[in-house]
Amino acid sequence: MSAPLWVIVPAYNEAARLGATLDALAAQTDTAFTLLVVDNGSTDATAEIARAFRGPFPTLVITEPQKGVGCAVDTGFRHAIAAGAVHLARTDADCLPAPGWVAAARAALQSSGGLACGRITARHDEHGPFGRAFFRLLVVLAASFGRIRPAHRGREYLAPYRMHAGNNMAITAALYEACGGMPRRPSPTDRAFLNRVRRTTSAIVHSRDMVVANSTRRIRAYGVAGTARWYLDRGSGARTADPR
């Protein structure tokens, strides 16, 4: 029997996109999981859409009033662990996991016993070929920058740095608790979380079969230069970290 797996989806004012994410999860080849949507104090119909959803797996909705994706993720993961989750996977409410995503995440965790990171692509319904190509370039640049950045190369790390997308990850409950969990703060949190894991274990794998289509709306909100700054960890400048 497979270890209990929960999928956590943090959501804030995602009424326009959440339905597609839920449908993508319902279309998984492996539906033996529990879905937990963590509403981060939305002011639109996000929570209602999640509660009305009926999929081939149990679906729960909880609220985290403390704003910040890190707060919502941490609350969701710890709620799942308290309910008996052994494996945890996360995507975001504006993302579209490929049909084999859950199966690949489960397989990666069974083989590694630690953290599994997947591959992100650009959604096809938000930008044309240029926007998707620009997104791919940003991912490559951000990954390369992260590997050579001195702050990511200290002796305290047990595994080499490779870019980790928070919207496409899976981790064991034991490792999540051992590393201290997701930083409870607004975005960005991904690098800080990855480095917490790297200080705790070398059991980190990258699965190319874990594929999630990522929203590219930041390009529209920030522009080309602003988006590049964001992905290269130079912050959002005068813009909010939330691109809506």
Give the structural domain span for 206. 5-125+163-212
Return the minimum-mean-pLDDT range out of 12-26, 118-132, 139-153.
139-153
Cβ neighbors of 184 (< 8 A, separation 6 or more) are: 66, 68, 70, 71, 74
CA–CA dist 139, 122 (Å, integer): 10
- Flag whether 217 is in a domain: no
CB 86 within 8 A of CB 5: yes
Domains contained in the chain, number: 1
- Which tens digits make up the pLDDT trace of 13-40? 999 999 999 999 999 999 999 999 999 9
pTM over 0.85: yes
CB atoms within 10 A of CB 84: 11
Closest C-alpha to 172, from 205, 209, 146, 147: 205
* Residue 91, domain CATH: 3.90.550.10
CA–CA dist 131, 216 (Å, integer): 8
- Which tens digits make up the pLDDT trace of 164-193? 889 999 999 999 999 999 999 887 788 899
- Flag whether 187 is in a domain: yes
